[in-house]
Amino acid sequence: MSECGSGHYRHVLNDAPCELPVGKVVCVGRNYAAHAKELNNPVPESPIIFIKPATSIQPLSEPIRWPGGLGSCHHELEISILIGARVTKQSASEVVGHIAGIGLGLDLTLRDLQNQLKAKGQPWELAKAFDGACPLSGFVLPAEFRDLSNIQLALRINGELRQQGNSSDMLTPITELIAYISQYITLEAGDVVLTGTPAGVGPFQSGDQLTLILDERFQFGAKVA
């Protein structure tokens, strides 16, 4: 699969289109304790895993949209991991060599709909897996980062700092998370792992201008339609 919902998304690595196919996005809920708290959710005992399909991916540079009539759409800023080779039932030390790139993504969430679905005990797929629900930045090479357990991420909206975090605060660190997922779900080359959002989630407003900042060195712009 080299195309997805918006029809023209390609992974970008080091500012160049990347040959890896576009696959699924495997995500984790409540991977930062402070975010679990802000939504009055318990801190989970093991990672909460869900999937966004390839059709939910769009370039971060495209205007952010969501289905109308379903209430608020929240931003969740997350470190994204581009998988470079098949990962199945591997250990944390084994998965390190299969990380092709590191970037930022938005786990767009129809929060009102998600709350309704959670109240009914139903899966929250419709709130998180709709077309365009996963805007992704380009990826940079993992060699750019000395320590995967010390990567900063920040989101500014209209210039104001709204989300800030560090992978050191993850309940399940990046390589452990990928290893955990791979015990159940095989990750293929071109799949993406979203690693959870720090605190500060909130609703978008039409026209919002976003700046996503990875490790204080890499900046990506985005805009709400």
Nearest to Zn ion of 107, 215 (CB atom)? 107
Q: Does 114 bind Zn ion (CB under 5 A)?
A: no
Nearest to Zn ion of 25, 99 (CB atom)? 25
Angle at 34 between CA 175 and CA 30, to 5 degrees: 50
The residue whose Cβ lies closest to Zn ion is: 107
DSSP 27-63: EEES-BHHHHHHTT-PPPSS-EEEEE-GGGEEETTSP
Nearest to Zn ion of 21, 67 (CB atom)? 67
Q: In this chain, which stretch among 33-41, 83-91, 134-142, 197-205 interacts with Zn ion, using CB under 5 A? A: 197-205
167/78 Cα distance (integer angstroms): 10
Q: Does 197 bind Zn ion (CB under 5 A)?
A: yes
Nearest to Zn ion of 34, 141 (CB atom)? 34
Region of 103 on the Ramachandran plot (φ > 0 left; ψ -120 to 50 alpha; else beta):
beta
Q: Does 111 bind Zn ion (CB under 5 A)?
A: no
The binding track of 145-174 with respect to Zn ion, each residue x by CB under 5 A or -, is ------------------------------
Nearest to Zn ion of 124, 218 (CB atom)? 124
What values do phi and psi take at 35, rounded to 5? -75, -40
We find the least distance from the C-beta atom of residue 78 to Zn ion, in angstroms, to be 6
Q: Does 76 bind Zn ion (CB under 5 A)?
A: yes
Residue count at the site for Zn ion (CB under 5 A)? 3
101/106 Cα distance (integer angstroms): 16
We find the least distance from the C-beta atom of residue 67 to Zn ion, in angstroms, to be 18
Instruction: Name 109's bridge partners.
Output: 74
24/26 Cα distance (integer angstroms): 6
Q: Does 107 bind Zn ion (CB under 5 A)?
A: yes
138/130 Cα distance (integer angstroms): 21
Residue whose structure tokens are 């990347």: 18
Q: In this chain, which stretch among 55-63, 139-147, 190-198, 207-215 interacts with Zn ion, using CB under 5 A? A: 190-198
Q: Does 136 bind Zn ion (CB under 5 A)?
A: no
Nearest to Zn ion of 76, 215 (CB atom)? 76
Q: Are 208 and 157 in contact (CB under 8 A)?
A: yes
Q: List contacts with Zn ion (CB under 5 A).
A: 76, 107, 197
